[in-house]
A and B are shown apart, each in its own frame.
Chain A
Amino acid sequence: MAAAGAGRLRRAASALLLRSPRLPARELSAPARLYHKKVVDHYENPRNVGSLDKTSKNVGTGLVGAPACGDVMKLQIQVDEQGKIVDARFKTFGCGSAIASSSLATEWVKGKTVEEALTIKNTDIAKELCLPPVKLHCSMLAEDAIKAALADYRLKQEPKKGEAEKK
């Protein structure tokens, strides 16, 4: 009698253990749940990571944020004679959302004129990447980086003025 009871107990326990990792298992593959796949994509398939020659007259460099805040973005643009941005590069010290925001920013500025690039808003970046409210500041920093790069470029175009030093 005890043996039969044990058999039933064993089957019930097997069923419990076999059945328990059901739906939670799918949710538990961390990136799918915590990070939007667009954000992960910018890290796994990086585009425009790198540096341009910051001493060149056609290159504007924006460096924003602070290591103490956990967010630093460097965004560089290369502008041709017609005022069109032909190349852009970025490097970021920050969370996944910060990396994705700055990466997207370089994608968007390419092909735009200097004036058009000024219209890029952080809300557009956040919407495109589906950033949660707690990560909105990452998109704001990306917008700041674009503006800083454009400001640096403009400063370099003025005669006799040195490049915007990162002082």
Chain B
Amino acid sequence: MLLRTAWRRTAAAVRAAPGLRSEAPARGLRLRVVDHAPQSAVPSDTATAPEVESVLRPLYMDVQATTPLDPRVLDAMLPYLVNYYGNPHSRTHAYGWESEAAMERARQQVASLIGADPREIIFTSGATESNNIAIKELEAAIQPDTSLVSVMTVNNEIGVKQPIAEIGQICSSRRVYFHTDAAQAVGKIPLDVNDMKIDLMSISGHKIYGPKGVGAIYIRRRPRVRVEALQSGGGQERGMRSGTVPTPLVVGLGAACEVAQQEMEYDHKRISKLAERLTQKIMNSLPDVVMNGDPEHHYPGCINLSFAYVEGESLLMALKDVALSSGSACTSASLEPSYVLRAIGTDEDLAHSSIRFGIGRFTTEEEVDYTVEKCIHHVKRLREMSPLWEMVQDGIDLKSIKWTQH
């Protein structure tokens, strides 16, 4: 009881601390965040203004790769990194009890985001580990003909939403296990594991403004889905994932899920508006731009555009003050263009011309406008340098030409 009040007072003080707040990037200021030169060893509370302007960082438009930590999540995590450092599996003292309480609270937060029971959530190190646990279950199945369907909820490259509810319906009627990797979908679109008849779900922390290095797997209890543990040890997490649960990380994941649940509708509306603004502005100013992916069943925050006659990596080099990603071969280590674009039947030259724009919770209108303006300017410039654009302007059909190989 005493502990609880002490904790609450400190947590309130931490939340009210101005030192923390002044560094949290204000919305709209992200356009040009100034970094500080190495500070002197003694930190000063009064030094709030940046002393030396050193390097300007690019805008961040790559939220599908990873997301920044929401300041509210950091607030929730900090006490568990600094003060409440107990092992949540320690049963004999207050440090263990308070960590365990925090872990269970986080479990409830994750569960309520997807309509699950907290007993069905197992913490892992990320969605990759969750996927591995889920797929390994196939080998542990009792009947030899039991099968598993595994589908991504929202694709990370083109943002397409799969018809999860329909697939879940089919799987449950055929008594086939249904797993979905919901890393890009959790907290962004409404998910309910019971309505959609999902048996296994992978969750990633750092895709929903939570910390890196943590995730969760949802494993249905009714009807029971049996999984085989990937790592063995002390039997933590109901024996399904041994290893001490990292309290600060799971508290962060829980806080991220709770924040996502509160902000989902607002974020979705705002991101849709920004996405509409970006695509409309670009498509109205430039000809021959193709949006990859189904326009209807699409998560708005992930926009994949192909700019014909301009290669993706050269556009990324030109847009050097915006952090973006491309489906072009030149940006992948293997020189192969994106397999996703190939799978949806995109022409190879358009696959080389694709850029993915990620719009997230902290993306501002100014950032979108800046990105659009620079993008239009550089696409025009690169088209002036492109022999394909020149040939198309001269009326030549590119498909009729026999190209050399090298």
Contacts and interface: CB of A to CB of B under 8 A. Distances in A.
Contacts of A22: 38
B54 A66 contact: no
B320 A30 contact: yes
Interface stretch (B55-63, B162-170, B204-212): B55-63
Given A21-B35, A28-B58, A70-B328, A35 B23 contact: no
B314 A94 contact: yes
Interface residues of B, number: 59
B338 to A, nearest CB: 12
Given A6-B10, A11-B19, A94-B314, A18 B36 contact: yes
Interface stretch (A80-88, A113-121, A134-142, A153-161): A134-142
B6 interface: yes
B56 A29 contact: yes
Contact of B54 (A25, A72, A98): A25
A70 B387 contact: no
Nearest to B18: A10
Interface of A: 2-3, 5-6, 9-15, 17-19, 21-23, 25-26, 28-31, 34-35, 39-40, 43, 46, 49, 51, 63-74, 91-99, 134, 137, 140-141, 144, 148, 166-167
25 contacts: A9-B13, A9-B17, A10-B14, A10-B45, A11-B43, A15-B39, A17-B23, A19-B43, A21-B57, A23-B38, A25-B35, A30-B321, A46-B385, A64-B404, A64-B406, A66-B404, A72-B403, A73-B387, A95-B313, A95-B317, A95-B328, A96-B317, A99-B385, A144-B406, A166-B401
Interface of B: 6, 9-10, 13-14, 17-20, 22-23, 35-36, 38-39, 43, 45, 47, 54-58, 78, 82-83, 309-311, 313-314, 317-318, 320-321, 323, 328-330, 333, 335, 337, 348-349, 352, 384-390, 398, 401-406
